Chains A and B, each alone.
Chain A
Amino acid sequence: MTKEQREKLPVIFRTFLKFGCFTFGGGWSIVAQIQKEFVEKRKWITDEELLDFTSVARSVPGLMIGNASVLFGYQEAGAIGALVALLGIVIPPVLIMIGVVFVYNLLQNNPYMARAMMGVRAAVVPIILSALIKLFKAGMKDVFCYLIALGALALCLFTGISNVLIVVLGAAVGLLYREVKSRRDLS
C-alpha cells in the first residue's frame, strides 16, 4: 500500500461513516453522496468511474450500498480501503437499528403504538407495490420474462420450494435463454 493510499484511509472511513447516517431510500442515495463528496468536492474519481461502480454494484449479489462502497474503497486504497469504506457505511445503521429495536420492544404493547403500527402495516403493501412497479419497468424485457415471473410466482404460492433456489433457477434460465438466442441469431 502506497503512502498516498494510507493517507486516504481515515478520510474514506470518516466520510463513509457520515454517508452511513444518511443512506435513505436504497442504493441511489449512496451514489448521490459519493458524487457530491468525491467527484465534485475532492475530485478523487470522475463521473464515468462512478457510473461504472454503480452498474457493477447493481449487477453483483449483495447490498447495493455495500457493493458501491467496496468498489470505491478498493479503487482508492485497495482491499483495506474497501473494508474501511464498508465498515463506515455499515456501522451507523446497525447502531441506529439497535436503538430502534430497543424502543420497539418497549412500546410494542402500548395501545396507541399498536394502532399506529396497524396503520404502518397497512402501508407496507403499497410500499412494496410501488417498488415492484419500478422493478417491472427495468426487468420485464419481453414475453419470456413474464413467463419466468409467473413461474416463480406459482412456485412460491403452490410449493414450499426455497426462494434461494428459485433465484438460482432464474439465473440458470437467463443464461440458457440468452445462449440459445445468440446461437440462433448466429445461424
Chain B
Amino acid sequence: MIYLELFLSFLMIGFTSFGGMSMIPLINQEMLSHGWLTAREVADIVAIAEMTPGPLGLNCATFAGIRTAGIPGALAASMGVIIPSLTVCMAAAAFLTKFKESRLMDEAMYGIRPVCIGMIFAVIIQQSEVNYAGKLFGFVSWPAVLIGAVAMVLLLKFKWNVPRTILVSAALGMLLGGF
C-alpha cells in the first residue's frame, strides 16, 4: 500500500537525519529507488522547500507525498517524518537533565556528521550531472553553469540568503533558458 510505504519511508528518513541538508541524501535515495520522483524533481523540492516556511524534511515529505499519492499521501509522509520528534525527542524532553549529562549522543554525532558530509558530496555529484547537462561539448549546458556560478558567488561572497538567490536564478533562467 502506497500510503504505508510513504509513511515508513519518511519514518526511516526522520530517524536517521540530523537537521537540514543532512536529510537530502536520504530523501534523494528513497525517492529515486522507489521511483517516486526523478533527480530533477528532487532538485525542485530542495529549491521549493527553501522558498516556503517549514523544516526542509517536512516540506520534502509533503511534496513527495502529494506528488505520489495525493493529499492522503502528503499526510502519511508528513506523519512519518515527525514521529521521531514525538518519540525520541519526547523521551529526551522527559529526561532532560539526564539527557544533557549523557555523552552518548555527542559521541555518536562524532561519526554521524562526517558521514552526512560524505553523503551530501555524493548528492552534489549526482545533482550536478543532472542539472548542468546540455549540448555544449556534448555534455554541459552553459546557461546552467553560468547561473550556478552566479548563485555560488551570491551565496558565498555576498552572503545572500537562499530565497533571494533562488529568485535571481529563476529570472536568469527565464532570460537565458532559450539558448
Contact = CB atoms under 8 A, between A and B. Distances in A.
Given A70-B89, A98-B74, A64 B147 contact: no
A11 interface: no
Given A61-B84, A104-B48, A132-B21, A93 B121 contact: no
B110 interface: yes
6 contacts: A60-B88, A63-B57, A101-B62, A127-B50, A132-B121, A139-B114
A167 B19 CA distance: 13
Interface in A98-113: 98, 100-101, 104, 112
Contacts of A58: 18-19
A-B pairs with lowest CB-CB distance, top 8: A119-B173, A174-B111, A93-B54, A115-B177, A152-B118, A139-B113, A170-B115, A62-B84
A22 B54 CA distance: 7
B16 A86 contact: no
B20 A140 contact: no
Contacts of B71: 98
Interface-centre pick from B54, B88, B143 (highest chain A CB count, 10 A): B54
Interface string B28-50: 01000000000010011011101
Contact of A148 (B75, B118, B144): B118
B136 interface: no
Interface of B: 12-22, 24-26, 29, 40, 43-44, 46-48, 50, 52-59, 62-63, 66-67, 71, 74-75, 78, 81-86, 88-90, 92-94, 96, 99-100, 103-125, 127-128, 130-132, 141, 143-145, 147-148, 151-152, 155-156, 161-163, 165-166, 169-174, 176-178
B14 A152 contact: no
Q: Which of A93, A133, A146 has the most CB of B within 10 A?
A: A93
A32 interface: no
Contacts of B171: 116, 119
A100 B43 CA distance: 15
A156 B25 contact: yes
Contact of A97 (B29, B74, B90, B100): B74
A174 to B, nearest CB: 2
A1 interface: no
Given A58-B18, A61-B15, A121-B44, A101 B67 contact: yes
